[in-house]
Amino acid sequence: MNKQEYMKKLQERLESFGKELQEEIMEDYRQHFAEGENEGKSEEEIIEELGNIEEMIRELSEDELPEGFAQRALEPAAVEGQEVTGTQEDTEKFEETEMKRAFSYSGYYKAVVLEGKVADVYVTESENDQIHVDYEAKGVNSQQNYEYYQYEEDGTFYAGVKRKKSIREEGDSDEKMVKVTLFGRTIISYGTIGNVWNSGQSITLTVRIPKGMPKLTAKVGSGNVSVSGVELEALEATSGSGNVGLNDIVADRLKAHTGSGNIAAAHTEFISGALEAGSGNVKAEGVKGRELRCGTGSGNIKGEASVGEYHLASGSGNIKMKAGGNAERINMSTGSGSIKLELEGIQGMDTTVRTGSGGVRIAWNEEEGQKVKNGNYTYGNGACKIKANTGSGSVKIFGRE
Amino acid sequence: MNTQFKKGALELCVLSQLVWGDKYGYELTEKISGEMSIASGTLYPILRKLKADDYVTTYLVESESGPARKYYKLTEKGKQYQTSVKQEWETFINAVNQLLLG
């Protein structure tokens, strides 16, 4: 490969990241070539030095995802930071135990904010106008190290799980403990710290919120979040490394994030919905609304939806979408995965497709097997604007009026 | 190597280079690839990220050799970050060394 070919490939692979970024990285590479040539290096030497473009793209994909994915993915699971745990005696005392508590709260709140840390958080609708919380902790660690809290401020209801202040922080100096964190992660912990958060340990927070609650925010570190059967103005569900599940929800604004877990939304209606995973898969089934955004670093995006605008982006995964009646605009891009789109009940489409090395196939109203190349294609009245972009995967688009 | 780990280490290397003065992209990649085997190209996204996080700023300087050179300069925030990550790194290395001894 010579410089020209290399730069062309670079340009193509950067296409999906937007013009500005593309030009910036291209300029860095051009500068690198100029400097290298100036030192008397050959094109081949410089290309070898710059290395595999895919490797650079991978690096870039980690950062160029919506709203700081990398941080979230990095967010250490809360259990990793455990400092001091009980003595053997305590352990026996708590073994196999299960603690359950139930709380009810009355009053009008404009928002509910839940922070679960290691806990799994479930939210559903309350049968009356009270907020009900069931807190359940199983096993020794969960009871010794975490506790439930609740408070309210400014008309907002806060509840969650927090770490207990260690009772044995002092007087343990003779015990050998090492805890090392690096780049935000616990790399090493031994001694009496880092007691295993084994399978018997779990904390569950089940919250029932009144009908008509305007806003819900649920955030966990290593736990999962599941929200179902609620109607809200705004919903935000976030997990560091767990999964986020949304079912049977109506919300004007809906946001779901996870660092390394998966996201699944089913039977959900919204005006704008954003489902963003760092490395997991994103699934949207039976979703309706005005605008749907799905993003993942390396996972797949799969769904069946009926929305006006689709924005689907994956770093390296596949995209598979079944789009219903009122679609106007569909943007799909993946670094190296394949794209498959099925359109139902649309008057026509105006399509721009691009793939680095995969095949392209567009079929409209059962006219099967049209093999096309990168470029722009219009069918029917062109009502739906579609852009499909992949680095190396294939693109398949099927449509029916 | 764990990518997150590698990335963190590279970030630290880049920031530490800049502690000693502003450098342009090629200069940085040469310095780092002189010590470890990496694809120089991967450093550009890292530099971009450091800039986005306000750890460095950039400025252009005309060069007689060709296109203008983009220089990277450590910000105050970048300096603090470098100090804290460097400390983490040293603690880590010490711990590993301890453990290697048995």
Check residue A382 and give its pLDDT: 86
- What 8-state DSSP symbol labels residue B82? H
Which residue did the predictor score with more confidence, A59 or A271? Answer: A271
User: Tokens standing for A378?
Assistant: 């219009």
Q: Do B48 and A24 lie within an 8 Å CB cutoff?
A: yes
Check residue A201 and give its pLDDT: 73
Euclidean distance between the first and the last CA atom of chain A, given in angstroms as a whole number: 45
CA separation for the pair A40, B6 (Å, rounded): 31
Residue A65 has pLDDT above 50, yes or no: no
CA atoms within 13 A on the CB side of A328: 6
Q: Please list, residue by residue across A158-188, b when 16 or more beta carbons sit within 10 angstroms of its beta carbon and e when fewer do.
A: bbbbeeeeeeeeeeeeeeeeebbbbbebbbb
Residue A239: which of A188, A201, A275 has the closest Cα?
A275
Count other Cβ atoms within 10 Å, centred on residue A391: 25
Asked if A377 and A351 touch (Cβ cutoff 8 Å), the reply is yes
3-state helix, strand, coil in chain B (%, to 5): 65, 20, 20
Q: Do A29 and B67 lie within an 8 Å CB cutoff?
A: no
- On chain B, the residues whose CB falls within 8 A of the CB of A9 are none
- On chain A, the residues whose CB falls within 8 A of the CB of B3 are 58, 62
Lowest-confidence pick of A15-19, A69-73, A107-111, A249-253 = A69-73
Over residues A178-207, mean pLDDT = 60
Task: Spell out the residues 6+ positions from residue A377 whose beta carbon is closer than 8 angstroms to its own.
Answer: A349, A350, A351, A353, A362
User: Tokens standing for A321?
Assistant: 């979408």
DSSP string, A266-286: EEEEEEEEEEEESSS-EEEEE
Residue B32, chain A, CB below 8 Å: the answer is no
A398 DSSP β-pair partners: A342, A363
Euclidean distance between the first and the last CA atom of chain B, given in angstroms as a whole number: 23
Torsion sign (Cα): B54, B56, B61, B65? negative
**Contact pairs from chain A to chain B, CB under 8 Å:** 102
Contacts by B88-91 with C-beta closer than 8 Å and gap 24+?
B88/A180, B88/A181, B88/A182, B88/A183, B89/A182, B89/B9, B89/B12, B91/A180
pLDDT (tens digit, 9 = 90+) per residue, A98-149?
Answer: 788 888 998 889 999 999 888 899 999 999 989 999 998 887 777 777 889 9
Amino acid at B68: A
Check residue A372 and give its pLDDT: 79
pLDDT (tens digit, 9 = 90+) per residue, B34-52?
Answer: 888 889 999 999 999 999 9
CA separation for the pair A19, A23 (Å, rounded): 6
Residue A269 has pLDDT above 60, yes or no: yes
The percent of residues above 90 in pLDDT, for chain A, comes to 48
Question: Looking at this predicted complex, what is its ipTM?
Answer: 0.92
pTM over 0.90? The answer is: no
- On chain A, the residues whose CB falls within 8 A of the CB of B85 are 183
Band (A186; pLDDT cuts 50, 70, 90): low
Which residue did the predictor score with more confidence, A349 or A174? Answer: A349
> Which phi and psi (to 5°) does residue B4 adopt?
-65, -40
Asked if A370 and A385 touch (Cβ cutoff 8 Å), the reply is no
Asked if A35 and A79 touch (Cβ cutoff 8 Å), the reply is no
Asked if B60 and B68 touch (Cβ cutoff 8 Å), the reply is yes
Number of DSSP helices (H) and strands (E) in chain B, helices first = 4, 3
Residue A389: which of A363, A358, A344 has the closest Cα?
A358
Q: Which positions in chain A have a beta carbon within 8 angstroms of at least one beta carbon in chain B?
A: 21, 24-25, 27-32, 34-38, 49-53, 55-56, 58-60, 62-63, 73-74, 178, 180-183, 185, 187-188
Residue A166 has pLDDT above 70, yes or no: no
CA atoms within 13 A on the CB side of A32: 29
CA separation for the pair B92, B88 (Å, rounded): 6
> Which phi and psi (to 5°) does residue A209 adopt?
-110, 150
The 3-class secondary structure across A304-323, one letter per residue, is EEEEEEEEEEECCCCEEEEE
SS3 at position A89:
helix
User: Tokens standing for B15?
Assistant: 């920031």
Asked if A318 and A300 touch (Cβ cutoff 8 Å), the reply is yes
In angstroms, what separates the C-alpha of B68 from chain A's closest C-alpha?
8
Calculate Rg over the CA atoms of chain B: 15
């595999």: which residue's tokens?
A: A52
For A207, A250, A269, the CA distances from A125, given in Å and listed in that order, are: 8, 12, 16
pLDDT (tens digit, 9 = 90+) per residue, A194-217?
Answer: 333 444 678 899 999 999 899 999
A105 DSSP β-pair partners: A131
